[in-house]
Chains A and B, each alone.
Chain A
Amino acid sequence: MKEFLIGKLNLEALPHEWFTIGGTVAFIALALLVIIVLTRTKRWKWLWDEWLTSVDPKKIGIMYFIVAGVMLLRGGLDALMIWLQQALSSGSSHGYLSSDHFQQIFTAHGNIMVFFVAMAFIFGLINYIVPLQIGARDLASPFLNTLGFWLFVAGVIMVNMFFVFGGQYAATGWLAVAPLSGTQFSPGVGVDYWIWSLQISGIGTTLGAINFIMTILKMRAPGMTLRKMPLFTWGSLCSMVMAATVFPLLTATLFLMFFDRYFGAHFFTTELGGNAMMYTNLIWMWGHPEVYILMLPSFGVFSEVVSTFSRKRIASYMSNVLGMIGVSLFALSVWLHHFFTMGSSADVNAFFGVMTMIIAIPTAVLVFTWIATMHKGRIRFTTPMLWFLGFIGTFSIGGMAGVILAVPPADFQLHNSLFLVAHFHTMVIGGVLFGIFAGLTYWFPKIAGFRLNERIGRYAFWCWLSGFLLAFTPLYVLGIMGATRRLDHYDASTGYQPLFIVSLIGGLVIAAGVVLQIVQIIASVIQRKQLMDTTGDPWDGRSLEWSVASRPPSYNFTVIPQVTSRDAYWDVKQLGTLKTAYEDILVPKNTASGIYISAFAFLVGFGFVWHIVWLVVVGMIGIIACVIARTFDEHTEYTLSAAEVKKAEEAREKKTAVARVHKSLAIGEEMGLWEFIVIVVKWALDILKNKRWRTW
């Protein structure tokens, strides 16, 4: 009976080590705080109506950013724990973590950073920016979008579940290599959490990708042919096509592994004809393109940033576009370079080595077009541009390391070493994350209505860049010294420890950069009046997103623009203004179906993790019922009449006029770090002196 009710769940599962208990307590305290604040300010209904059930891609984009930001802190904490263990655990000292726990932490770190930070930021940017760039009022399927987002959230909760609720996480590396991830070697629930968090969020990603492909292909403004499409949209399209291609592969692979673990099948086990090498192939057929799914939108961001801040159109647009398409095509056929060391024949290895090198060609083309764009430009060193210049340096180092690893005999010596770890962190931090930061800073005025503080932003950038170099240069060297990845302990005679300590210091500098980014956002909120973007076009931009107000209305465009050239908005600005007219607009209605379906999907996953069959059944019935109910809902849209649009537009116009006055009155420079500290201290003193908490 007990087994029927709660499956494998038991008290043992509850957290019982100091840091898991600490994590659980901190998490619950934080959740309670949020609940209290929301209840005291009576914001529940507002939150539900305005945000959670919203189908507006702009709001969903912001929600992606928030989740990704929180997860960045969570994954960053894991990173610091890994660094600390490796800096301590030399010779007779064994650090503060058991090997099993250490392995869970780096698995969680990898999963969180790739799926729930990088992917989430990328999806957030695509959600917010792509419809604006292509002159669309909405997505092809607003419902699929909210469903995708909430499935992603269910995955986030699942991956953090072991922390709060108990059990353990996979101790297998971020891709749960077989046969290590089979029940023979990983009998606990860790790998099941891994399977279901990736499975649920992965299905969300597939749906999102299909939705964005449809949106970009079918909903562009009249006149915007594929060859006139902005480059960020191109990068997003390439990325989403790849995602729709390979994510089903992940889904299938995860199902096979689930069959192995749950029903005792033998796809990837060592026994009864199972073949773990098959798993290695399948997971990397998805895993390698996954990296480029993250990379391509970042390439797009950089193309926009370089072009805008050099005040020039992108040099050789077609080369840039073909470069991105080339990268995404070739990225699908290089997966075997992740396991040259598995023993394939020289011909197979060499073939995949050549394929990998070919990717360097379109990538180099992208770099050349950026250089040519800067040539005879007029370059403003705003923070997005700084992120770009930092990216180029780190990306070149990482790219060269990548080409070295593409040479099988060189890879035999460097594979699984910290050199490899340094390589992919260079690509994902120096490439993807710097691109995301550039994009977020660049589009922040559009998203928030005011610019970000540039001064503190520059401090954050320099911390990130120097911290990154300090943290990962030692890892390259350690790899050359023969240090493998995932070591929870090493011999003192290896001489690794000093370098691990330098690396830890680098990690702390990066952490300082993250703190500065948070400070940057708070400082910008404090000074929002003078940072206000009253024009909608703070950077002298070139594409359509800058033609609408910051923040854009829910319907994006009062008039769907007619596009005649590549730099649609730049040319409008050179030729004259946009005309205004009002028309009826069809707006999608909010829906909570996505939340319900995802909640049931979560129950299914949770039931499978703990072997609670009735919960799985309930979840599945719930999903099916919600989907059917949704198909009967015929009133998914409503019309915003021309008069209402006019009223809203005029109201906003008035508000902007007031904001303009405020902005002209607010004199003084953007605050620096010192001014920020002074303001915070004064605020705290004021609270203490006047006992302001009594009014709370």
Chain B
Amino acid sequence: MTKHKNKRSQEKPVRLLLLGLAGLGVLIMMLLQGTDITLFSPKGLIAGEEHRLTLLIVAVLLVIAVPTLSLLYFFAWKYRESNEKATYDDHTRHGNFFVFSVWAIPTVFMLVLASIMWPAAHKLAPKMAIAANAKPITIQVVAMRWKWLFIYPEQNIATINFVQVPVGTPVQFELTADETPMSSFWIPHLGGQLYAMTGHQNQLNLIADVPGDYAGRSAEINGAGFAGMTFVARASSQQGFDEWVQGVKSSPDVLTADVYGELLKPSQNNPAAFYSQAQPDLYANLLIKYSGSHGGHTEHE
């Protein structure tokens, strides 16, 4: 292992690695041709804000990471053993200024990041109602094994694995679960996820700005049917929504207690289903069902 050999043998793989990384980038770009990169194409206010916030954080991080890494690899190259021109000094003393800077620089960056994050975390809290001209609609969501039940209390209809909302109208999802492990309700095009849990109600406010069909699913593992626990979230015009509601209302199926009992049985990869009526209080009873023995705190902070 002579010095020169050592040096030469290191340069080639580094070049290959850089080349390979560029190649990998191109390859991924090519593979993604025509595919929709969900989080980069937000279709609603919340998803858009979350996307912008993420990019801002990345930008701030790159400001510190790029120079740091460049300096590190530059030093590794410059002070390589075979470079006899570089100075060697084992006795460098790192004074107070050095110590101060190594602590101060990351602290400043983290203060910047925290000051971006703190207000954003409040503004984009799932519970926060979205300010808009339209009157918000409420949709109750029940995670079941392994399907999503949507109840529209104002319209008095219910659906399985399909939810339609009007564009530009804030939607208040009220999430709970029944006889199902923790599940996570996620429509990435419209915004971040929130857990649906038995005996609890979580509130997730989302809004769709662009009409279209968006994939939704459970993001948290909840058993054998987890991968197939998907649904379609359709955003349409208000008129389209009203027509759709009328259509569902003419469905022969009704969500009675018996039908609900059938739904409670585990089943996988369920197709969409529509119910012209939902038994009133079905959702409210779900919250009571689990709170009987411990004084019922249905909403937690």
Contacts and interface: CB of A to CB of B under 8 A. Distances in A.
Interface of A: 99-100, 103, 171-173, 177-180, 184-185, 270-273, 276-277, 280, 310-313, 315-316, 318-319, 339, 341-350, 353-354, 357-358, 360-361, 364-365, 367-372, 374-381, 386, 389, 392-393, 396, 400, 403-404, 406-417, 454, 458, 462, 465-466, 469-470, 473-474, 477, 480-482, 484-491, 494-495, 498-499, 502, 670
Given A180-B221, A491-B215, A499-B31, 18 more contacts: A185-B222, A341-B195, A342-B202, A343-B194, A343-B195, A353-B114, A365-B106, A375-B92, A376-B88, A378-B81, A379-B75, A396-B69, A404-B54, A409-B123, A410-B50, A410-B53, A458-B13, A482-B215
23 contacts: A180-B223, A184-B179, A270-B199, A311-B88, A342-B197, A343-B300, A354-B114, A354-B117, A365-B106, A376-B88, A379-B80, A381-B10, A396-B65, A404-B54, A409-B53, A412-B124, A469-B24, A477-B37, A480-B39, A481-B39, A482-B38, A489-B228, A499-B28
A360 B110 contact: yes
Contacts of B32: 477, 495, 499
* Of B24, B53, B106, B107, most A-chain CB atoms within 10 Å: B106
Contact of A376 (B9, B10, B79, B184): B79
Contacts of A494: 215
A379 B81 contact: yes
Contact of B301 (A312, A345, A377, A498): A345
B219 interface: yes
A481 to B, nearest CB: 5
Nearest to A487: B227
Contacts, number: 312
Interface in B1-45: 1, 6-7, 9-10, 13, 16-17, 20-21, 24, 27-28, 31-32, 34-40
Given A354-B114, A376-B88, A482-B188, A477 B28 contact: yes
A377 B80 CA distance: 8
A670 B6 CA distance: 13
Interface in B81-108: 81, 86-90, 92, 94, 98-99, 102-103, 105-107
Contacts of A374: 72, 75-76, 79
Contacts of B109: 364
Contacts of B135: none
Nearest to B106: A364
* Of A177, A407, A498, most B-chain CB atoms within 10 Å: A407
Nearest to B198: A270
Interface string B191-203: 1111101111010
A349 B107 CA distance: 20
A223 B109 CA distance: 39
Contact of A480 (B40, B182, B192): B40
Contacts of B87: 376
Nearest to A363: B106
Interface of B: 1, 6-7, 9-10, 13, 16-17, 20-21, 24, 27-28, 31-32, 34-40, 47, 49-51, 53-54, 57-58, 61-62, 64-65, 68-69, 71-73, 75-76, 79-81, 86-90, 92, 94, 98-99, 102-103, 105-107, 109-110, 113-114, 116-118, 120-128, 179, 181-182, 184, 186, 188-189, 191-195, 197-200, 202, 215, 217-228, 230, 290, 293-294, 300-301
Nearest to A390: B17
B88 A377 contact: yes
Contacts of B36: 481, 495
Given A470-B24, A482-B38, A403 B61 contact: yes
B79 A400 contact: no
B221 A103 contact: yes
A403 B109 CA distance: 11
A184 B180 CA distance: 9
A350 B121 contact: yes
B221 A486 contact: yes
Contact of B102 (A173, A316, A380, A386): A316
A350 B118 contact: yes
A412 B193 contact: yes
Main secondary structure, interface of A, reads: helix
A21 to B, nearest CB: 22
B193 A367 contact: no
A416 B50 contact: no
B13 A349 contact: no
A361 B105 CA distance: 9
A316 B13 CA distance: 32
Given A312-B92, A494-B215, A499-B28, A413 B191 contact: yes
Contacts of B51: 413
Given A99-B226, A100-B224, A409-B120, A416 B193 contact: yes
Nearest to A359: B110
The 6 closest A-B pairs by CB, nearest first: A412-B192, A495-B35, A180-B181, A364-B106, A482-B38, A273-B294
Contact of A481 (B38, B54, B71, B102): B38
B221 A354 contact: no
Contact of B126 (A272, A412, A414): A412
B294 A407 contact: no
Contacts of A386: 10
A328 to B, nearest CB: 17
B126 A343 contact: yes
A374 to B, nearest CB: 4
Contact of B192 (A172, A341, A474): A341
